[in-house]
Structure 1
Amino acid sequence: MKKYSYLFIFILLASCSGTKKIATSESAEDITSSRLINEYYANALEYKTMDARTRLRYEDKNNSQSVTVTIRIEKDKKIWLNASLLGISGARALITPDKVQFYDKLNRQYFEGDFRFLSEYLGVDIDFFQLQRLLSGQTVYDLREGKYDFKKTAVGYTITPRKQLEGINLLFSISSENFMVDRQRVEQPAENVSLDVVYGAYRNVEGKPFPTQIDILANDNQNQTRVSIDFRDIDINVDTNFPFSIPSGYSKIELHAR
């Protein structure tokens, strides 16, 4: 499960808190697949920059810990993460579409690589824009690309690709209350690997619903990792910076692809 420990350095965030409803223009009884997806994107939060402070809890079969994580995003350009314990910075990451970097002060280690290598290492395709959407409380895959089928449920809708990706099964659950995602699941049956992301209790941010809590559950054969995130504060479209410099004397983390 060590590789998922590295994965969650990047997947650190997104989703849920608050009870204010967001007005929608479509009833749950009168909707089509394309209209449902259009409603979803009409309600999605648009921003140029995001600055959020969160509380993150990580658990696997060997340990658990809770840290404060600051996340900053300059949309489509960079994602910056800073994890601290008792007010002391312990790890920092800077992620761009072309590069992934992080360093760990506790173990005096650092990593430099790209998403292509990480995808080979993790055995799961992941890129910058998928991570950005996840941290913004959106579906990992862009629902405007491709065709989807949907089914009505007691609390909303489930959406699945009309043609699943090779070796990957996708499922998205959309709430009929605010037409936002409340669950997404990605699984690779042949590898016995799955990733569940569950969102809850949306709040109003600049007139749009935004999730301020999230539960991420990763299963890899017999191993299970859970990450729970609570957004304490979030600001959008504010001036922010992304300081990052790997300290001298740190040793490079060597990861080996499958």
Structure 2
Amino acid sequence: MALNLARLLILSSLLIVQFSCKRSKIQKSIAELPKSDISSIDSTSIESKLEDLIINESYFEYLKLKSKIDFQSDNLSQSFPANVHIKKDSVIWISVSVGIEAARCLITQDSIQFLDRINRKYYGLSIPELSEQFNFDFDFSLLQSLLIGNLPFDKKEGDRVILNSLYTSLFQQARNIKIENQIDNVNHKLNTILAEDLGGKSKLGISYSDFVEEISGDLVPHAIFAKIDVFRGEQVKTSTLDFKHTKFEFSDNELRFPYTIPKSYQKGVIVF
């Protein structure tokens, strides 16, 4: 149970994102990631200029989230509540409590650490080790962007923009990852990410919905759907996450990120 929760919490930190399309649509899209050539675009679509693309993003120093997370995989189904604190470009902190705190996770620029308070164990992975486990080139900036619904990577020269009737696609390649970002043509929010690791072949699909305007004026997604297909030789392991946010609070006031490994805890090993 505890090791499963460790896996879930690390997966959650990777896949905290929002659900904006119908689930059947995103499942199909993830299975058939867009090609990088213009011939893959619908005949009614047109190429547009990068400088004309408007994206409504959130800017903050600190962010506090409350969520219910539902996880599904080939051999596991589980739900749990989570509190999330973020310091921009620095730290992501996740706590799971059911009456008492059961687990805590800390993500920094170079590592992911986990405390299992029930079984008094701790776990740790570097970001490169995590990327190797999933055959997907993760980094902190990507994880942070997924959490807040902003672009995973900044726009840059060479990106391609395709205008469709309902959304605009921004095609990018960063490091070893090929991405299609779909931006709604009405509210200009990122609503879908389809990504593929060109080396490991693993695929990540993210979709955002239930957008709510906060007191700060930011339009943010309060519902989540994410799916990752991990390729290991001829085998594909699929996991999905559903999130329902009950709190999405931007702040300029400093948040706490407490994480200390008690001396009595033993080190554990996580293999996905």
> 2:144: which partner in 1?
132
Equivalent residues in 2 for 1:1-258 (5 A)? 5=8, 7-11=10-14, 13-15=16-18, 32-36=49-53, 39-40=54-55, 43-85=56-98, 87-142=99-154, 144-161=155-172, 164-165=173-174, 168-188=177-197, 191-205=200-214, 206-221=216-231, 222-237=236-251, 238-254=253-269
Distance 1:46 1:189, change over 3 A: closer
- Which structure 2 segments of 5+ residues have no match? 21-45
Hey, what's the Cα distance between the residues in 2 that align with 1:145 and 1:131?
A: 19
- Per-residue deviation, residues 142-181 of structure 1 (Å, max 9, x unmatched): 2x234211222231111213xx457543111110111111
The answer for the alignment partner of 1:22 in structure 2 is none
* Letter paired with 2:225: D
* RMSD, matched Cα: 2.7
Structure 1 residues 35 and 253: alpha-carbon distance in aligned structure 2, compared to 1, 3 A threshold: farther
- Name which of structure 1's ranges 217-226 and 52-61 shifts more when overlaid on structure 2: 217-226
Q: Deviations over 1:12-50 (max 9, x none)?
A: 524369xxxxxxxxxxx9x632221xx21xx21111111
Q: Is the CA contact (8 Å cut-off) linking 2:196 and 2:204 kept in structure 1?
A: yes
TM-score of the superposed pair, with normalisation by structure 1 = 0.81
CA contact (8 A) 1:172 1:184 kept: yes
SS of the residue aligned with 1:214? strand
SS of match in other structure, 1:240: coil
> How many residues of Structure 1 are paired with residues of Structure 2 in the alignment?
237
Displacement of 1:9: 4.1
Describe the shift of the 1:14–1:215 C-alpha distance in structure 2 as closer, same or farther (beyond 3 A).
same
Aligned to 1:26: none
CA distance in structure 1 between the aligned counterparts of 2:171 and 2:13, rounded to whole angstroms = 25
TM-score, normalized by length of structure 2? 0.77
Amino acid at match of 1:70: N
Post-superposition shift, 1:76? Answer: 1.4
